[in-house]
Amino acid sequence: MIRRISLALARYEQALLALGAVCLFAMMVIVFVDVAMRYLFNSPLGFSYDLISLYLMVGVFFFALSDTLRHDEHVRVDILYLRMSDGLRRLCDRISYGLSAVLFAVILWTGLLRAIASTAQGEVMATLIPWPIWVAYWIVPIGTAPIVLLCLLRFIHPPAKAQHPA
């Protein structure tokens, strides 16, 4: 059962990662066009900063979060970790996964509550373009839910061999 959940979660992470890649590509194109318009025609895109900071940057971060953990590509300070025995490493990993699950569950819960409230109020940003803020708030629980589940799965059933560099 854990294997099936993990496979379904991996598919969801891949879909989110693809969305994150689209967000990153869109940021690149928007910045390029904005700079070109600014220096060639003295007419920059007025919406680029809001679009990038409100939606795209948030999407890049939260949509890649869980897949980064799955492939063990997150930032880690491992001065002591690499000197530990395998048993102590597994214990530290399990504690880390448990604490991370709690932390991300809090982020998920508060993000979900904020997204629901913002959606109900129809919040928009008071700028030249009235961007709907509630869309950006939904990115947080959508991107955080899989990392909560992945941390719980790894807490319950840690990977057989540590994936860490030796």
Range of the domain at 21: 2-156
- Asked whether residue 84 is assigned to any structural domain, the reply reads yes
Mean of pLDDT values over 20-28: 98
pTM of the predicted structure, to 2 decimals? 0.87
Determine contact, residues 140/118, Cβ cutoff 8 Å: no
- Asked whether residue 118 is assigned to any structural domain, the reply reads yes
Q: How far apart are CA 104 and CA 69, in angstroms?
A: 13
Query: What is the count of structural domains for the chain?
Result: 1
- Asked whether residue 164 is assigned to any structural domain, the reply reads no
- Asked whether residue 54 is assigned to any structural domain, the reply reads yes
- Asked whether residue 163 is assigned to any structural domain, the reply reads no
**Binning pLDDT at 50, 70 and 90, where does residue 166 land?**
very low
- Asked whether residue 161 is assigned to any structural domain, the reply reads no
Please check the confidence at residue 161 and state whether its pLDDT lies above 80: no
Q: How far apart are CA 133 and CA 34, in angstroms?
A: 22
Closest of 16, 51, 15, 49 to residue 139, by C-alpha: 16
- Asked whether residue 56 is assigned to any structural domain, the reply reads yes
Q: How far apart are CA 160 and CA 157, in angstroms?
A: 8
- Asked whether residue 104 is assigned to any structural domain, the reply reads yes
pLDDT tens for residues 77-134? Answer: 788 888 999 999 999 999 999 999 999 999 999 999 999 999 999 999 988 889 999 9
